[in-house]
Structure 1
Amino acid sequence: MHTIIRNLARAAALAIFCVGAQTLPSLAHAELVSSVPAADAVVEVMPEALVLTFSESIEPAFSKIEIVGPDGLAVGGTSFAIDPANGASVIVTLPAGLPDGSYTVDWAAVAADGHKVSGTYSFDVK
């Protein structure tokens, strides 16, 4: 009798563990998974746009991306929008004529689940 109860308890614990493990990915927060140009990249020509790809869709109304130029000031004339082909990617359009040098991308994003994440990375234009 004790063996049956013990086996039922083990089966119940295993079932609870399996159901709980399936929900773990939904508890993860959005994170930046790639960028173009990539972090620490050295490019020959300033791209017309940057692409930041997150692990999940973000809410553009509550997100911010700022590009800091070689002079230490925020680059004006930028805009960003969600990539219509991939809701987890953001396209940041840059103005023409930016000088060569080191650029820093400061970003803060709010995921669809309401969690805010932020980060920074740099790239160089030679």
Structure 2
Amino acid sequence: MRASQASLIAAIAIAGAGVVVAPRSSRAHAFPAAEQPMVGCTMNAVPAEVEIRFDNPIEAMFAHLQVSDKSGADVTADAPAVSEDRITLSVKLKPLAVGDYAVKWSVVAQDSHRSEGSYTFTVAGSRD
């Protein structure tokens, strides 16, 4: 009987470990893997767009990306776009002046979890 009890305990432990591991994969939020312009950077060249690549697919219907200048004025030229693979969120920009800019984004991952964030970048202009 002891051998069968040990086998039963081992089987329960293995099954329990699977239950503990399984929920982790279902909690996958989408977070930025890379940004262009990069977080906190100072650029000499004026960017034509802002692009954020995420680590998990995002839902286009719920994707928001706004870029504003120091006064809070929106400097986006078009509506944000999501790539076909649903990994990249981008928006074209109006011509930017020298100054500080804020990027605000919010997305819903394929698993329905929402994430959001913001960062800044600076356009310094050319050094002639």
TM-score (norm 2): 0.83
- 2:78 is the counterpart of 1:78: yes
Shift of 1:32: 1.7
Shift of 1:10: 1.8
Q: Partners in 1 of 2:76 and 2:93 — Cα distance?
A: 9
SS of the equivalent of 1:90 reads: strand
Q: Is the 8 A contact 1:78 1:93 kept in 2?
A: yes
- 2:26 is the counterpart of 1:26: yes
What is aligned with 1:104? 102
- For structure 2, the 5+ residue unaligned runs are none
SS of the equivalent of 1:17 reads: helix
Give me the CA root mean square deviation. 1.9
Q: Is the 8 A contact 1:54 1:88 kept in 2?
A: yes
- Which has more strand, going by share of residues? 1
SS of the equivalent of 2:120 reads: strand
TM-score (norm 1): 0.85
Q: Partners in 1 of 2:78 and 2:100 — Cα distance?
A: 17
Shift of 1:14: 1.4
- The percentage of aligned residue pairs carrying the same residue is 27
> When the two structures are aligned, how many residues end up with a matched partner?
124
Shift of 1:26: 2.6
- 1:8-33: CA deviation from partner (whole Å, max 9, x where unpaired): 21232113313541452232211122
Q: Is the 8 A contact 2:67 2:74 kept in 1?
A: yes
Q: Partners in 2 of 1:17 and 1:70 — Cα distance?
A: 51
- 2:123 is the counterpart of 1:94: no
- For structure 1, the 5+ residue unaligned runs are none
Which stretches of structure 1, 4 residues or more, deviate above 4 A after TM superposition? none
What is aligned with 1:113? 111
